Structure 1
């Protein structure tokens, strides 16, 4: 969560036309800041059936977890409820590829890992476990991702499908080569010992458990001796992500995960799911553990993430290469993606159904209006309220923390819920230099960057440093929740932290976290400096470029998630081995992971602040920049906050953490109604209605003559465009498959919109579309010559600029000689 620049988080977390509602309660809030609700309570309801009843009878306003699938039809008919569908969890397997020689690990063999793709029936998972509320997937993006058409050409040739004969033969060939034989019970043995596969099964809910039991059964049928162990996410964090793979505490983990934010460009997913450097593969990049390593996919994904390309074609080729290597390495497998039904009370309006998060997102909660003037508390049910550490370095990795914490601390940008594009939030973009992958700008001599080796701010003395991008930002400062104003020193401390904690100076460095470093260190060479001005604006210099200029300003964002003194106090605790930022480091040192919301740890931070006050301590990055009086005032404000609130969660968002009671299952946030908060209530209302692509006409001829041109048109329209016009821009990617289901033709066609000129109500000229947009698709004779006689299929993947979420259409053709 600690963003020094947009690139360090790889995801962008808005200014909109305020649409007023006739609701009296909403009108009473027009001059206030933040969300409509004065209070948001997150309440644990582990039983989904009970939660359903509580929303139906009005005791809960929404439930941020999927309801039981058998209740969906009754929920749609219930006048007290509104049903929202979201792209939900992806179900897959994480495999332990440890290849040491202490104990034989069958999953150290790549061919066996890949064969599991064919051993386990995705259709059974979709239809019997997920009851049809899902799609089968074989790769991490899936057909609802804007990247789907980019990876399809490398996914399709692998022909991943359910084929038990192929799977068992592949497994048997590999096991025989490894020296294994089958005993009389049909189980593999090596040197007289059974070949054991330990599978950790998530049992947080019935679906996860059923998925795990099914996978275990299929692996056992293939000839392995399966040992099943059950546990929730807390146990998985310890056994799978926090242990040394060489200890072989697990071989298979039934993983379910939430896809990364919906985005037009999403290099994060392929990096997160396959690349060791991202810190999400076995070993977690902790030097104390055995590591799964793959320099090929590391290099490719780093080129993707850090925009080391000069064109869209080159960029998409990198994505395809990464996906191809990841699929064939098969350390992480993918089987199904659910479409989860969420419910809310019909008395709630303003919920924003984000393409990736559904209604369970920050903007939705801020914009939610409860039609009850006597009760401005939103009561949100959740499966859990606390599953892991809350900290801004390597904590807050679970769904529940991310939802709650997003209301407490703002981000420099937000992600448009329907396009995934970054939009300005707490950083206003006032100027941009970014021309081409070859045009640079000199970093000025008064721009600074932190040097962890000599513990000082370095300047570009000889003006020898240049950058591809310069962004001028105006930060929208406000008061921290503890009452102190944010300032440039909070920004500066946020800029310093990644350099300090991801760089190992090799001198018994106490300010280094290996798990954090694996993600951050590769990006540091791209950060060239920051320059602050007296009017609080700043310039950031970054060696990044992108052909889509809508993305570029977000690369220069800089924003703190907590006051610098809280970070400084936790640094001292972590450097003293009293707490740890990351889970793997905590496990190695046998200490607790930092969690700012726990009263015990908040007291430790408070005591550290008291010590800092008494020592008249000023951290190295602020020495010579701030006065002692200023530092002492900062310490006192945060000490007072912790004394009053019993937590160290001090943010700059629209709500603050009022009470934290994980035992009782309730977390309460209170609205931060401070006049310095920059966003008025209702600012996100333009996102209430998602844009929707619709096919107006699609007339594809049934018969295609091989060796002759084949032409047709597609007409499309988009509802609810946020720009208020029908200015449709988009494209259609098409793929033609022969009777063997092989892609033989692929291409893309732009959607052309006819326009008429007219004036708006203020007499200003504008263009509007006179009729639906049309894409003309033409296959020439040499292309159709590639088909073979018989049935064929054409797949259309339609996207618009407003919403790159694909609309997919398939039609059957008959290819004739």
Structure 2
């Protein structure tokens, strides 16, 4: 079930079909039988990791992956489900998602009610609020948990609800790229400075990359920090810990490494392997060099390498202790995954929370310092204490940095209360996203082209477009802003010409396919395809119209009738008329016949 609109679907195709990602039979668990399909893995890794030559290659690769997946028929989608979300009249202003309706995190951030209270009911088939464990390493795999998880945490970027492309949330970014392909190999041309670092999870330290390292792209991130929900300020040290923690749990540094989760590493290691260097520039700026490009959008490059922590580092330190060692109070053997013989860790379960508090208390007493960070003992103790105080006040360990915080969790009554985080350090006012999110689409009303033209002639194309605004204020208007692309295609769907139609008057766009593009074509039927989108790269409306190209017939001059002069008839010899000659011939014939008759009789 999609919980957000995504225009580019390599993630969904990989998740639902590719064995390497860990969502197919076996789930990547090493002690179980696992479905494998090398070609599917190769195709999805190519699309997901920026190895496509261009946008056409990108879509062709995904089509081939889906085709192969259907043929394999391990996971088959038999129906398209249309979900209906009832809302009361007291709730207005919802920025719904074109992919998931009210299943989007934007709903909580934009909904308005007279008393500023939003009541939400959800149905779970297992008779509880969630179907799985509430942990961020190998939990949160059901939609019900994510309905509450996503509004409570923030993200570096998130998908626009109407356009399906990543937009900045807690970072702004700038992308550089320089590369070429050698065959199917992506070759970076950017020089990575030698003092940039990556995290060595075996040595538990940041190490310089050294000289001679090249990269495909570079992303500069500027962070919008705030306080955590427990009142502690976020800093670049949180980003350091976040990145190091991903490295730590993604790689098995030695056999039996307790700080490694295979299911988690299946997805994250693909990104980490492509990071060529990191620099923590100042208190809110980060630079990452990496081997990734996306043929359709630089925003997807920024999204690919973006890091943003969802939990304070002391919570991770404590939960790692529970999983790698045991519960310090209960003695329980925990695991981030659902494995036989262990208890899957959950940030909300009472016994787990008690063990977490005990671990945090011990860390406070020791003044434990994480190796990836550059902080003092006093700073570490303050962070531990803030988490302990939160647990005492709220009874759970889900502390984050988003627009809402989890004030109360009551599993017995399947009840949860989220409250708006109105801390003055939080960067977004309540109306911020309502004012900036627009749900709109351009609709093609008509396409006017000649039914037929001669080979070598221009093809004039006139398009009428209406913009339908659905959020924040519903209205329709002749399009004054739209991106109208026109293509001429042959019967095999090959593009013979493409261009952008120009706005002439409100709602009217025009373009002429030049005769030079039709001059060398054969006579026959061709397709003029028109796409109109409200924003460049947005979801387009599509219209196809046929045009007939006819062969040019050269006009020949009217032939002048040939004047034939008849040869003169030879005059009969003088003294003998034609009648006389005919009579003589007849007499001769009669005489011959009589002679033959009498001779025969004898």
TM-score category, normalised to shorter length: 0.7 to 0.9
After TM superposition, the structure 1 = structure 2 runs for residues 337-736 of structure 1, keeping only pairs within 5 Å, are: 337-370=80-113, 372=114, 375-384=115-124, 385-429=129-173, 431-437=174-180, 440-460=189-209, 462-547=210-295, 548-576=297-325, 578-582=333-337, 586-588=338-340, 590-622=341-373, 625-686=374-435, 689-699=438-448, 714-720=463-469, 726-731=480-485
Distance 2:150 2:524 in 1: 52
How many residues are treated as equivalent by the alignment? 527
Contact 1:527 1:542 in 2 (8 A): yes
* 381 and 702 in structure 1: CA distance in 2 versus 1, 3 angstrom threshold: farther
Q: How far off its partner does 1:801 sit? A: 3.5
Specify every segment of 5 or more residues in structure 2 that has no aligned partner in the other structure, as ranges. 181-186, 327-332, 552-602
Q: How far off its partner does 1:472 sit? A: 1.9
Range 311-320 or range 519-528, more displaced: 311-320
Distance 1:294 1:776 in 2: 48
In the superposition, the TM-score normalised over structure 1's length comes to: 0.59
Range 550-559 or range 262-271, more displaced: 550-559
Contact 2:151 2:403 in 1 (8 A): yes
Q: How far off its partner does 1:498 sit? A: 2.1
Q: How far off its partner does 1:691 sit? A: 1.2
1:330 maps to which residue?
Answer: 73
Distance 1:338 1:711 in 2: 41
Distance 1:695 1:749 in 2: 20
- Secondary structure of residue in 2 paired with 1:568: helix
Distance 1:382 1:806 in 2: 33
- Secondary structure of residue in 2 paired with 1:485: coil
Distance 1:646 1:655 in 2: 17
* 391 and 772 in structure 1: CA distance in 2 versus 1, 3 angstrom threshold: farther
Contact 1:750 1:775 in 2 (8 A): no
Distance 1:606 1:446 in 2: 39
- Secondary structure of residue in 2 paired with 1:433: strand
RMSD: 3.5
In the superposition, the TM-score normalised over structure 2's length comes to: 0.79
Q: C-alpha offsets along residues 482-503 of structure 1, whole Å, 9 cap, x if unaligned?
A: 1111112211111012221121
Contact 1:569 1:608 in 2 (8 A): yes
* 796 and 283 in structure 1: CA distance in 2 versus 1, 3 angstrom threshold: farther
* Larger RCO, structures 1/2 (Cα 8 Å, 6+ apart): 1
Distance 1:775 1:690 in 2: 27
Matched, 1:276 2:19: yes
Task: Give the one of 752, 761, 773 matched to 2:509.
Answer: 773
Distance 2:537 2:335 in 1: 41
* 442 and 337 in structure 1: CA distance in 2 versus 1, 3 angstrom threshold: same
- Secondary structure of residue in 2 paired with 1:332: coil
Specify every segment of 5 or more residues in structure 1 that has no aligned partner in the other structure, as ranges. 1-257, 737-742, 757-768
Q: C-alpha offsets along residues 326-359 of structure 1, whole Å, 9 cap, x if unaligned?
A: 2222212122212322222222221012111213
- Secondary structure of residue in 2 paired with 1:377: coil
Contact 2:444 2:463 in 1 (8 A): yes
Q: C-alpha offsets along residues 493-551 of structure 1, whole Å, 9 cap, x if unaligned?
A: 11012221121123321111111121122222101222113433221222212343343
Q: C-alpha offsets along residues 571-603 of structure 1, whole Å, 9 cap, x if unaligned?
A: 111112622222xxx233x32222212222111
Contact 1:704 1:710 in 2 (8 A): yes
Contact 1:735 1:796 in 2 (8 A): no
1:298 maps to which residue?
Answer: 41
Q: How far off its partner does 1:777 sit? A: 7.4
* 393 and 502 in structure 1: CA distance in 2 versus 1, 3 angstrom threshold: same
Distance 2:39 2:298 in 1: 29
Q: How far off its partner does 1:436 sit? A: 4.2
Q: How far off its partner does 1:771 sit? A: 4.0
- Secondary structure of residue in 2 paired with 1:336: coil
Contact 1:271 1:278 in 2 (8 A): yes
1:205 maps to which residue?
Answer: none
Q: How far off its partner does 1:682 sit? A: 0.6
1:807 maps to which residue?
Answer: 541
* 525 and 803 in structure 1: CA distance in 2 versus 1, 3 angstrom threshold: closer
Q: C-alpha offsets along residues 622-655 of structure 1, whole Å, 9 cap, x if unaligned?
A: 3xx2222211111111011111110000000111
Contact 1:755 1:770 in 2 (8 A): yes
Q: How far off its partner does 1:305 sit? A: 0.7
Distance 1:439 1:508 in 2: 35
Q: How far off its partner does 1:776 sit? A: 6.2
